[in-house]
Amino acid sequence: MIHPVPTLVKPHSRYSVFIMYHLVPLLVALSLLGSYHSDDVTFSVSRLFTDGAVLQRDMPVPVWGTAAPGTHVTVALDGVSHPAVADSDGSWHAVLGTRSAGGPYVLTVSTPDTMHQAQDLWFGDVWVASGQSNMEWPVHASMDAASEIRAASDPKLRHYKVPRTWAHQPSATLAGGEWHVTDSTTVGAFSAVGYYFARELRETQEVPIGILNTSWGGSRIEAWLDIHAQMEDSAAVAAAMTAREVRNDSLAQLFEASRNAPGTADPGMDGEVAIWADPEMDDTDWADMPAPALFEAHGFEGLSGYVWYRGKLTLSEAQASAATLKLSMIDDRDQTWVNGTLVGSTDRFRLPRTYEIAEGVLQAGENTIVIRVRDTGGNGGITESDHPFHLETTDGVMALPSMWKFRVGEYFVDAGDAPNHMPTLLYNKMVHPILAYPVTGFIWYQGESNASNPTDAYQYREQFQNLILRWRELFGRADAPLLFVSLANFRQALPDPAPSMWALLRESQSAALSLPNVGQAVTIDIGEANDIHPRNKQEVGRRLALAARHLAYGEDLVYSGPTYASHTIEGSEVHIAFNHVGAGLESSTDTLGGFAIAAADSVFVWADARIKGATVVVSSAAVPAPVAVRYAWADNPVTASLYNADGLPAAPFRTDDGSH
């Protein structure tokens, strides 16, 4: 059941909202700091308060951490000190007064014995960016990456990436992360959607913007909900988590006892130096591992993290020249060395690897190929496929070894379902520790992992609204704007109207527009049929920023494409009215497309459609007595061409009953 809507305030009453919630972040901070134990507590400050942080303007800002019980802590900013005392569980907190946008500031947190200092802090607006891979997707892998990175320079746009981590119980501490100022050396790793969203806001709002990026590729929405917001029985979820934790602990003991797995930092790497890629290294005590094959099927059930493969290949003088190495597909990411030389890396899931080996790298006689694989969850390794697994030389094709040496570098246990699919696990470690950090609002790009079947796709509408309401409650911001990306077009277009899981998921997303202060960015025109990760993140960020400019900053502008408002049936025609028409409706093609129509038999056929003022008239000679219309109802609605005059695409919709 969806939780009741909290008491809401007028969307544009920005400063009254901040005053109303002066005390809420502090109360949240107090509630989440109780998980420490008083035994041997060390002094710490939340990682959010480090060099370069963006702090939320016009709101009180809690600062928190740990220290030995009874320790006196002083938090100082801009000449104003705020005393605190660590309580019996080792937690302390102080609250900075409200400040308008500006900086830089220096924050000092000290005890009689220690001191933490964070420099170059600015007050501005903080936005949480969350979701799965399309939110996590970096600038360096997006459209026009080289020119965008080269041109990036904005010291008041900053980004913090919460590391991919999970926990069975809510945790008060972040596993890592730091703030980065935007320049050509840092921006490549930023969330592309988050960065381009923030860049748009920087051009119009003239305040510092901080993107707090907590996202994980492939994650389901259940993983981002706390236990109280799950649609399943909370006791059953808790029992399942306990059973999973016990199973994982037993596997971890097995890895440590018999697999030589450290479970800490990868000993195969020393900074940027790949120690285990050295061709002279002795690997005789490593395990044997067939390839291509999933390592879970060969004694490493539940393993995720970094693993290493070492293989030998003997070449003749004629073969030891420039060559091409083909490595089938790898799950998820890899770095590959030949005779100690890095020949390539791929930061994407299950793609065939093709790496060019320069002249002089290979040698006559024995050659060593080393592959470091990062598996982020679920199955992992060099996977079997129809793609080649061999070395192409000027003297012919050489098969790669069928048996490799294998060693775990750094691991976490992931038995059964991946942690990014399991209820609460990501919330516990990637959201719970940031709840006390005041924010302006949220941007959300997720849903692909919940669109695999009709039940999941339809259920998403309740889950998504639960997430919006629960996050607002937990962050102490009942009115906080949440802006989401409606799923982009994907897969090959079909010749005839047909059921669509992605269209159903988009409908479930759009149902959240019934809540106040929710906006959507429709992207059915900028996806890619053959890639679930469309590269045009600039336009995604721009469309999200339009919604933010209206909902968060009160600008009077057209911020959405046309959305279905109502319809009437007049004889053989269906007349459809729209919201967000702006200066008028337009078609991007000569013939308005994307509409399908059906009679009482619910058999949909493509329809004729024409714009008539602020409405669209839909009909078909094959359907003289129409009952329902659908628009852009497909995974990849390539014929959909309805826009408003501001160039924003109309959102998919259907007029039938909405059941799945």
The model carries a pTM of 0.78
Q: Is residue 73 located within the same domain as residue 185?
A: yes
Q: Tell me the average pLDDT across 638-653.
A: 98
Contact in structure between 195 and 142 (CB atoms under 8 Å): no
Residue among 162, 150, 15, 36 at smallest CA distance from 90: 36
- Give CA–CA dist 210/194, Å, rounded: 9
Out of 507, 524, 551, a domain closes at: 551
Q: Is residue 106 located within the same domain as residue 182?
A: yes
Contact in structure between 601 and 457 (CB atoms under 8 Å): no
Q: How far is CA 56 from CA 166, 222, 357, 434, in A?
A: 26, 28, 50, 13
Q: Is residue 120 located within the same domain as residue 226?
A: yes
Whether residue 264 is contained in a domain is answered as no
What is the DSSP pairing of strand 482-485 with strand 518-521?
A: parallel
Whether residue 659 is contained in a domain is answered as no
Digit-coded pLDDT (tens) for 576-592: 999 999 999 999 999 99
Report the chain's terminal Cα–Cα distance, integer Å: 18
Backbone angles phi, psi at 189, to 5 degrees: -90, -5
Q: Is residue 354 located within the same domain as residue 385?
A: yes
- Give CA–CA dist 491/487, Å, rounded: 12
Whether residue 263 is contained in a domain is answered as no
Tokens of 280: 């002279």
* pLDDT exceeds cutoff 70 at 7: no
Q: Is residue 34 located within the same domain as residue 53?
A: yes
- Find the CATH number of the domain harbouring 441: 3.40.50.1110
Contact in structure between 60 and 438 (CB atoms under 8 Å): yes
Whether residue 631 is contained in a domain is answered as yes
Q: Is residue 488 located within the same domain as residue 608?
A: no
Domain carrying residue 160: 14-230+423-551
Confidence of residue 263 (pLDDT cuts 50, 70, 90): low
Q: Any bridge partners for residue 269, and if so which? A: 274
What distance lies between CA 69 and its chain's CA centroid? 37
Q: Tell me the average pLDDT across 169-194.
A: 95
Digit-coded pLDDT (tens) for 115-142: 999 999 999 999 999 999 999 999 999 9
Q: Any bridge partners for residue 616, and if so which? A: 576, 611
Residue among 3, 123, 117 at smallest CA distance from 57: 123
Digit-coded pLDDT (tens) for 484-508: 999 999 999 999 999 999 999 999 9
Q: At what angle do helices 537-551 and 192-205 cross, to 10 degrees?
A: 50
Could you tell me where the beta strands, DSSP code E, fall in 376-414?
381-383, 389-393, 396-399, 403-413
Residue 252 is predicted with a pLDDT of 63
Contact in structure between 312 and 282 (CB atoms under 8 Å): no
Q: Is residue 170 located within the same domain as residue 292?
A: no
List all residues 6 or more positions away from 13 whose beta carbon is below 8 Å from its beta carbon. none
Q: Is residue 542 located within the same domain as residue 569?
A: no
Apex 45 CA angle, 41 and 48, nearest 5: 140
Upper half-sphere CA count for residue 112 (Cβ side, 13 Å): 6
* pLDDT exceeds cutoff 80 at 241: no
DSSP type of residue 535: S
Digit-coded pLDDT (tens) for 264-312: 678 899 988 999 999 999 999 898 999 999 888 887 777 788 899 999 9
Out of 348, 378, 413, a domain closes at: 413
- Give CA–CA dist 445/532, Å, rounded: 13
Digit-coded pLDDT (tens) for 368-420: 999 999 987 777 899 888 889 999 999 999 999 999 999 988 877 665 567 88
Q: Is residue 439 located within the same domain as residue 539?
A: yes
Whether residue 8 is contained in a domain is answered as no
Q: Is residue 290 located within the same domain as residue 342?
A: yes
Q: Tell me the average pLDDT across 168-187.
A: 94
* pLDDT exceeds cutoff 60 at 1: no
* pLDDT exceeds cutoff 70 at 21: no
Question: Which residue type is seen at 546?
Answer: L
- Find the CATH number of the domain harbouring 330: 2.60.120.260
* pLDDT exceeds cutoff 50 at 349: yes
Contact in structure between 171 and 428 (CB atoms under 8 Å): yes
Whether residue 242 is contained in a domain is answered as no
- Give CA–CA dist 106/192, Å, rounded: 29
Q: Is residue 503 located within the same domain as residue 585?
A: no
Whether residue 122 is contained in a domain is answered as yes
Out of 393, 413, 433, a domain closes at: 413
Tokens of 17: 């909202």
Upper half-sphere CA count for residue 170 (Cβ side, 13 Å): 17
Average pLDDT taken over every residue of the chain: 89
608-642 burial string, b = 16+ CB within 10 Å, else e? ebeeeebbbbbbbeebeebebbbbbbbbbbbbbbb
Residue 251 is predicted with a pLDDT of 62
Contact in structure between 230 and 423 (CB atoms under 8 Å): yes
Q: Is residue 290 located within the same domain as residue 332?
A: yes
Q: Any bridge partners for residue 324, and if so which? A: 356, 392
Whether residue 5 is contained in a domain is answered as no
Domain tally, the chain: 3
Contact in structure between 303 and 255 (CB atoms under 8 Å): yes
- Reported residue count of the chain is 660
Q: How far is CA 79 from CA 52, 75, 76, 106, 107, in A?
A: 19, 10, 6, 10, 10
